[in-house]
Amino acid sequence: MKLHYHNHFCPRNDVVLAVLFGDRDLFCRLIAAVTGDEIDIVGQPFTQATLRGRDIILETIRFDTFAYTKNNNIYTADI
């Protein structure tokens, strides 16, 4: 098996995923398809986001996409 790789398409450049799943409806459908959970999110999903926690050990967490649900859960989708 030969793996074709181009530097332009390395994981940090996954703009297509961010654009597609930054859409509320598509994000909810993706989560339902993967987990079986029907979710209702608050607002739009966040894409290419960084969260900084108060815990010094965790420092920062980077997500491709994530969203808060109306029942205070968080779902993420990473490539």
- For 20-42, how does the pLDDT look when each residue is reduced to its tens digit (9 = 90+)? 778 899 889 989 999 999 999 99
Query: 39 with 69: CB under 8 angstroms?
Result: yes
For residues 50-79, one letter each, b for 16 or more C-beta atoms within 10 angstroms of the residue's C-beta and e for the rest, the string is eeeeeeeeeeeeebbbbbeeeeeeebebee
pLDDT digits (tens, 9 = 90+) for 57-74: 666 666 778 899 999 898
Q: What is the pTM of this model?
A: 0.65
Amino acid, single-letter form, for residue 53: G
